[in-house]
């Protein structure tokens, strides 16, 4: 399965790793950022149940807070992560893994390419350290059929 997304440069990966280590307290526990009350993530397009071509655009929506690049220490902000064909959410007490599409530049849409068949899409927001908020800000999971 080919996913067309921006890849992080080696320098960006080092910065992200440093930020992630900075999120760990002296006991190795991760500090989670409180989510603003009423914050909501959603997928603007495609719609749930849509039939799409193999390459299509996914637009991310967010209300009740703002989008900021990873590493930006701004109140009530986060950045998107796209879960493709994942049956469950990632661990909520650690930075999101490489199998989740990461949009740490503050992107609000992406073009992806998926093989024909049925696929699920879901968004989860990460804080400045790529860690889900508390409580997590997660979209509904939608299903699309790729032609």
Q: Is the pLDDT of residue 2 over 90?
A: no
Quote the radius of gyration of the chain (alpha carbons, Å).
Answer: 15
Q: What tokens does 5 get?
A: 């997304």
Furthest-apart CA pair in the chain: how many Å? 50
Predicted local confidence at residue 31, as pLDDT: 87
Separation of alpha carbons 131 and 42, rounded Å = 18
Q: Is the pLDDT of residue 77 over 80?
A: yes
4-34 pLDDT tens trace: 444 444 444 434 444 444 444 444 567 899 9
44-66 pLDDT tens trace: 999 999 999 999 999 999 999 99
Predicted local confidence at residue 114, as pLDDT: 98
C-alpha atoms less than 13 angstroms from C-alpha of 77 in its C-beta half-sphere: 17
Q: Are 70 and 19 in contact (CB under 8 A)?
A: yes
Q: What tokens does 51 get?
A: 């039939």
Predicted local confidence at residue 88, as pLDDT: 94
Q: What tokens does 16 get?
A: 């992200």
Q: Is the pLDDT of residue 72 over 80?
A: yes
Nearest CA among 140, 144, 146, 135 for reference residue 35:
135
Predicted local confidence at residue 111, as pLDDT: 98
Predicted local confidence at residue 29, as pLDDT: 62
Separation of alpha carbons 55 and 46, rounded Å = 12
Q: What tokens does 99 get?
A: 């199998």
80-118 pLDDT tens trace: 999 999 999 999 989 998 889 999 999 999 999 999 999
Q: Is the pLDDT of residue 122 over 90?
A: yes
């Amino acid at each position: 399965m080919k996913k067309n997304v921006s890849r992080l440069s080696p320098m960006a990966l080092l910065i992200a790793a440093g930020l992630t280590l900075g999120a760990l307290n002296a006991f190795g526990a991760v500090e989670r950022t409180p989510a603003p009350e009423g914050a909501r993530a959603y997928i603007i397009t495609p719609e749930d149940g849509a039939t799409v071509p193999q390459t299509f655009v996914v637009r991310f929506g967010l209300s009740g807070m703002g989008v900021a690049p990873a590493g930006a220490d701004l109140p009530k902000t986060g950045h998107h992560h796209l879960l493709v064909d994942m049956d469950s959410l990632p661990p909520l007490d650690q930075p999101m893994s490489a199998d989740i599409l990461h949009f740490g530049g503050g992107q609000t849409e992406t073009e992806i390419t998926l093989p024909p068949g049925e696929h699920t899409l879901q968004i989860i927001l990460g804080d400045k350290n790529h860690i889900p908020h508390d409580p997590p800000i997660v979209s509904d999971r939608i299903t699309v059929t790729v032609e």
